[in-house]
Amino acid sequence: MLFSPLSLPNGSILRNRLAKAAMEEGMADAGQLPGGAIHRLYQRWAQSGAALLITGNVMIDSRALTGPGTIALEAGTPLAPFATWAQAARQHGAQIWMQISHPGRQVMANLGGLAWAPSAVALDLGKHSKLFAQPVAMTAADIAEVIRRFADTASAAEQAGFNGVEIHAAHGYLLSQFLSPLTNRRDDEWGGSLRNRARLLLEVIRAIRERVAPGFSVAVKLNSADFQRGGFSEDDAREVVLMLNELPVDLIELSGGSYESPAMQGRTADGRTLAREAFFLQFAKELATVARMPLMTTGGIARQVIAEEVVKSGVAMAGIGTALSVVPDLPHQWQTGATPSATTPPLNWKDKAMGSLAAMALVRRRLRALSDGSATNDADGERYNPLFTLIIDQLRAALQARRYRKWRSRTAPV
């Protein structure tokens, strides 16, 4: 079943049930544009055997980035570097979807950007909270601008040759913040009831659909839960899926967690224990019974037997993330009968926030090695030291942040 085709509601066909899930590459060139590093990485993944490649975060507003190496695509951004990116990814028959996002309050303070949020509720990461900007509650005009920006970015992605977009409404980013009662404390039409909290996501989908062709795929990445007490719950996720059933959505990817509760890395803040592999499969199986569109689940999938379990359970696609930073052609190897090890050792640091940063730094280091050709295709090859990797990653981020601030100072309106 893994290598059978999947028809999407818009008529597009994916050649199998395996996707490269989004990972934060942190490889933007000057001006937050894709360049040679990202192009080479996706040329590598184009040969992976996956039917679908979903990019890491592409931000809809260059004033609000998840990190200084994040790519941004706005109205007026040069499209040639994005067209090269799409062409590199599509050259062996895979589809490429751009994950489009706004970080909301999850903006690093040293970037000096906008930390728009539904309500002025700051991140609580203990002693690390000061690393993030103080959020500002959005006005009605701000909300209208965000809706327009999502549509602008989706339209530009289509013009550049991408096959679709995935709207990021998970992991504590802006749309997820609107969905969660912990971060959305508004008393207007954008807050309160779940219907109101979901309004921004629904309006973003409608705005994008008005701007793109019917055959251009529009997907949503949604939390199965926030995994925080009092947050967005499994019942909420089910109700949102029912709302999405009424819109032209081609696929929903189920994930979970946020910076405060990194369930997408296998750890939760509310004490719940996730499955050792395919973290969110149980939630996805339950939601697949009510969803009219195909579902995909991502998180901890590194073995063929687990990917097969996902598809056999009624979930249409298995998303592979970190494992493809270890073995970049993992789907192809599975199809040819190989069973390489693509697992990574867990980081059980006492400081959970620093552990999460180190885990992301390790992935970015492997992605850079894939891009520059220095990586082996063997999970038993070089093991990177997590602490050293985190230090190098932080130094690189500091240099990228300096470059970003200089660029913003030149491009910001007077």
- The CATH number linked to 312 is 3.20.20.70
What is the structure's pLDDT at 123? 84
Question: Is residue 10, in this structure, part of any structural domain at all?
Answer: yes
Grade residue 299 by pLDDT with cuts at 50, 70 and 90: confident
What is the structure's pLDDT at 354? 85
Where is pLDDT greater, at 280 or 360? 360
How high does pLDDT run on average in the chain? 90
What is the structure's pLDDT at 272? 47
What is the structure's pLDDT at 74? 97
What is the structure's pLDDT at 112? 86
**CA dist., res. 409 & res. 179, Å (int):** 33
Question: Is residue 305, in this structure, part of any structural domain at all?
Answer: yes
Cross-strand pairs, 233: none
What is the structure's pLDDT at 281? 82
39-49 mean pLDDT: 97
Question: How far is residue 246 CA from its own chain's centroid?
Answer: 23
Question: Is residue 292, in this structure, part of any structural domain at all?
Answer: yes
Identify whether the C-beta of residue 393 lies closer than 8 Å to the C-beta of residue 364. Answer: yes
142-148 mean pLDDT: 98
194-216 mean pLDDT: 98
Q: Could you give the number of structural domains in the chain?
A: 1
Quickly count: other Cβ atoms within 10 Å of residue 135's Cβ: 22
Quickly count: other Cβ atoms within 10 Å of residue 6's Cβ: 20
Question: Is residue 111, in this structure, part of any structural domain at all?
Answer: yes
Does residue 191 carry a pLDDT above 60? Answer: yes
Question: Is residue 303, in this structure, part of any structural domain at all?
Answer: yes
Cross-strand pairs, 331: none
Cross-strand pairs, 115: none
Question: What tens digit of pLDDT does each residue of 249-288 get?
Answer: 999 999 876 666 555 555 555 454 445 556 678 888 889 9
Most confident of 151-160, 222-231, 334-343: 151-160
Grade residue 382 by pLDDT with cuts at 50, 70 and 90: low
What is the structure's pLDDT at 376? 59
Question: Is residue 43, in this structure, part of any structural domain at all?
Answer: yes
Q: What are phi and psi of 374, to 5 degrees?
A: -90, -5
∠ CA 386-391-395, nearest 5°, is: 145
What is the structure's pLDDT at 278? 62
Question: Is residue 124, in this structure, part of any structural domain at all?
Answer: yes
Question: What tens digit of pLDDT does each residue of 68-119 get?
Answer: 999 999 999 999 999 999 999 999 999 999 999 999 999 999 998 899 999 9
Question: Is residue 1, in this structure, part of any structural domain at all?
Answer: no
**CA dist., res. 200 & res. 399, Å (int):** 35
Domain membership of residue 96 as a residue range: 6-411
Cα radius of gyration rounded to whole Å, the chain: 19
Report field, pTM of the whole predicted structure over 0.75? yes
3-state class of 68 per DSSP?
A: coil
Q: Which of 207-216, 270-279, 295-304, 308-317 is the least confident region?
A: 270-279
What is the structure's pLDDT at 356? 82
What is the structure's pLDDT at 379? 46
Percent of the chain with pLDDT over 90: 74
Most confident of 96-105, 342-351, 373-382: 96-105
What is the structure's pLDDT at 270? 43
Where is pLDDT greater, at 43 or 409? 43
